[in-house]
Every structure is written in structure tokens, then in C-alpha cells.
């Protein structure tokens, strides 16, 4: 029998109440006054629907800077040290609560199997993409989640249009997909290293916007996070990788060469953030010098986005409650 969708069953009502309770539990009492700003985040959520865009996208949650579509953007305007005035221990407790929301909502997204969420992570080397994935998605049902990490393209990938390899890894219905690096590399590293002529990478901004429009119009909500760290913070993280034998595997001497192009990367980031923040897929810049703040901001935005999508368990088959399983 085909599954029916859309109606909200008892189970999902209970689930939603549970999620609300979770939010409530850290919106009061035990958190510092700075939390007041955070508690207002829910009101900042706004559903925006373009004329033919089926999915809601989301306005900034507290702590995230959302790049206004059509306005020039400069990373220099965002302090990567921002921490919302929060205490690290409090932030960790809040992160656990956000994760619980994500886990409950992900189950509904998976059961509904009509839509998907794509989380795009971009950052300079050592920016914290791997750590973010670990912290935010811990405890999510692995069956409903797929991470794609994009490295230097293979010969086969280079034989196709630049979006080919990314399109193949977009999340299917019911799934949360994570792009660890993404199609933006083709206007970032490719531009900084001059891997294709300028007219070729220049036309990619429009092509990326069209690609993302196709995805959102087809049922995928896109959340794009740029993890913003300072040059000093990158030096400290590289030094930590050298100092700790357990981190040696993470150290790539090529990162030192790339570091020399810091300014060129910042210029490329600014252009990508400016050209490709659209109403259907806006860019969110996350102050990321403090890992615990970065994790909390992203987890909260993911949870708020899933909540705004409001996935529903499919309607139960008629009479299921009265069914008896034969011996």
C-alpha cells in the first residue's frame, strides 16, 4: 500500500512536543544572562519562499552572520573571536540539547522521505570542517546521513563539467548530506592557483546559483556555512599539529604553501560569499576561532532549519492499531 504523507500523527505530535521541551529546558534557569540573546533566535527564523522554490530557507540564528543576497560582503567585518558571551561549559550543555533536537527531527525527515537537507562546509585549511561534522552529527542515525569529502579532482572528474561530481553526491529524499568542501572549491582553490582561465571561473558563480536553485526547487534545503578563523588562529592550529605526534597525520606541508596565499583566499571567499548568497541558498558566516562556539552555532542553525522544514511521519495505514500479529 502506498504511504500517505502530510498529516501529523500522534507520534509526531509527541515528538514535536519533546523537541519543544528540549529547547525550553535550556532557554531558562541554568544559563548565563547572555543566553537571553540566544533565546530570541527562534523569532529570527523566517521562512522565505521564492516564486518556484518549494523549500523554506532560514534566516540567521544568533551567532551566525547571514550574507544578505545582492549586497557586497567582506569577511573583515566579522570578528572570528566572537563567542556570544557564553561560557564553554554552558555552550557544551547547549550543544547536547541541539544535538538531541537534530536527532529527533532527522528521524522524522528520514521517515517522511520527501525532502532532504544539504549542509555545505567551506573554510580555509585548519578551519574546522572535520571537527564540526563530528560535533554536530554525533548520534544521528548513520543510515540517514551521508558525508562527501571533496579532494583534488580525479582524471575522470576533470573530464566532466565541474558540477558533475558534486551533483552525484547530493542527498536523496529523507537524507541529510554534508559536503566537506564543495562545488565552491571551483571558484576558490581553482581561482587562487589559476587552474582554469579567469573567464572560466568567473562564469561559475552563476552556474553555481543555478545548480543550487535546481536543488532547492527539487526538495533540498541548502545550508551553507563558512567557518571563519583568523590568520593567527591558523598558525596556532598548524603549530599544534606539529607539536602533537597524534596530530602529525593531519599536518600537510602543502598547507604552509597555501598559507602564503592567505589574502588571495580571503578575496576569493569574499567574492563567493557575495556572488552566491541567494534567497534560496544564503551563506552563513560562523565565527570559528572558538571551536565550541562554532559547533553550537552550526548545530543550532541545523536544528532550527530542520524544525522549519517540519518533516512529518507518514500517516499510518488505516486500522493499524487494531491489527493482531498471527501466531
> Given the rule CB under 6 A, which residues bind ligand ADP?
125, 150-153, 181, 185-186, 189-190, 252
Q: Compare residues 6 and 249 and give the one whose CB is closer to ligand ADP.
A: 249
Q: Compare residues 188 and 302 and give the one whose CB is closer to ligand ADP.
A: 188
CB of 191 to ligand ADP, least distance (A): 10
Pairing of strands 220-228, 176-180: unpaired
User: In angstroms, rounded to a whole number, what is the distance separating the alpha carbons of residues 221 and 235?
Assistant: 35
Could you please report the per-residue DSSP string of 172-237?
A: -TT-EEEEES-GGGGGTHHHHTT-S-HHHHHTHHHHHHHHHHHHHHTTEEEEEEEEE--HHHHHHH
CB of 83 to ligand ADP, least distance (A): 25
Q: Compare residues 39 and 163 and give the one whose CB is closer to ligand ADP.
A: 163
Residue nearest to ligand ADP (CB): 185
Closest residue by Cα to residue 126 from 80, 73, 184, 164: 80
Q: Compare residues 12 and 132 and give the one whose CB is closer to ligand ADP.
A: 132
- Virtual torsion, Cα 196, 75, 62, 278, nearest 10 deg: -40
Q: Which residues contact 315 (CB under 8 A, 6 or more apart)?
A: 3, 4, 5, 6, 7, 9
Cell of 10: 500522534
CB of 121 to ligand ADP, least distance (A): 9
Q: Compare residues 185 and 271 and give the one whose CB is closer to ligand ADP.
A: 185
CB of 255 to ligand ADP, least distance (A): 8
Q: Compare residues 120 and 190 and give the one whose CB is closer to ligand ADP.
A: 190
Q: Which residues contact 81 (CB under 8 A, 6 or more apart)?
A: 230, 287, 289, 290
Q: Compare residues 183 and 290 and give the one whose CB is closer to ligand ADP.
A: 183
CB of 152 to ligand ADP, least distance (A): 4
Alpha-carbon separation of residue 97 from 10, 26, 267, 297 (angstroms): 23, 8, 36, 12
CB of 285 to ligand ADP, least distance (A): 19
User: In angstroms, rounded to a whole number, what is the distance separating the alpha carbons of residues 120 and 285?
Assistant: 12
CB of 278 to ligand ADP, least distance (A): 21
**First and final C-alpha spacing in the chain:** 23
Amino acid at each position: 500500500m502506498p504511504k500517505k504523507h502530510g498529516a501529523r500523527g500522534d507520534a509526531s505530535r509527541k515528538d514535536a512536543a519533546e523537541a519543544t521541551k528540549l529547547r525550553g529546558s535550556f532557554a531558562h534557569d541554568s544559563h548565563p544572562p547572555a543566553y537571553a540573546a540566544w533565546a530570541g533566535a527562534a523569532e529570527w527564523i523566517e521562512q522565505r519562499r521564492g516564486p518556484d522554490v518549494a523549500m523554506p530557507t532560514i534566516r540567521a540564528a544568533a551567532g551566525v552572520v547571514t550574507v544578505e543576497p545582492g549586497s557586497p560582503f567582506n569577511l573583515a567585518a566579522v570578528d572570528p573571536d566572537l563567542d556570544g558571551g557564553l561560557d564553554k561549559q554552558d555552550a557544551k550543555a547547549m550543544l547536547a540539547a541541539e544535538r538531541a533536537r537534530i536527532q529527533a527531527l532527522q528521524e522524522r525527515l528520514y521517515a517522511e522521505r520527501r525532502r532532504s537537507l544539504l549542509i555545505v562546509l567551506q573554510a580555509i585549511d585548519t578551519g574546522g570542517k572535520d571537527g564540526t561534522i563530528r560535533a554536530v552529527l554525533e548520534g544521528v542515525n548513520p543510515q540517514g546521513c551521508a558525508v562527501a569529502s571533496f579532494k583534488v579532482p580525479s582524471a575522470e572528474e576533470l573530464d566532466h563539467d565541474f558540477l558533475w561530481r558534486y551533483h552525484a553526491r547530493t542527498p536523496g529524499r529523507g537524507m541529510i548530506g554534508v559536503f566537506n568542501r564543495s562545488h565552491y572549491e571551483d571558484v576558490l582553490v581553482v581561482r587562487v592557483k589559476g587552474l582554469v582561465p579567469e573567464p572560466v571561473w568567473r562564469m561559475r558563480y552563476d552556474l553555481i546559483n543555478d545548480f543550487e536553485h535546481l536543488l532547492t526547487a527539487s526538495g533540498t534545503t541548502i545550508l551553507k556555512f563558512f567557518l571563519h578563523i583568523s590568520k593567527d588562529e591558523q598558525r596556532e592550529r598548524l603549530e599544534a599539529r606539529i607539536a602533537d605526534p597524534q596530530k602529525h597525520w593531519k599536518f600537510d606541508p602543502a598547507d604552509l604553501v597555501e598559507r602564503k596565499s592567505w589574502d588571495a583566499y580571503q578575496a576569493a571567499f569574499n567574492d563567493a560569499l557575495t556572488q552566491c548568497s541567494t534567497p534560496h541558498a544564503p551563506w552563513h558566516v560562523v565565527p570559528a576561532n572558538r571551536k565550541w562556539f562554532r559547533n553550537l552555532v552550526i548545530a543550532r542553525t541545523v536544528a532550527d532549519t530542520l524544525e522549519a522544514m517540519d518533516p512529518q511521519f507518514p500517516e499510518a495505514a488505516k486500522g493499524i492499531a487494531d491489527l493482531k500479529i498471527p501466531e
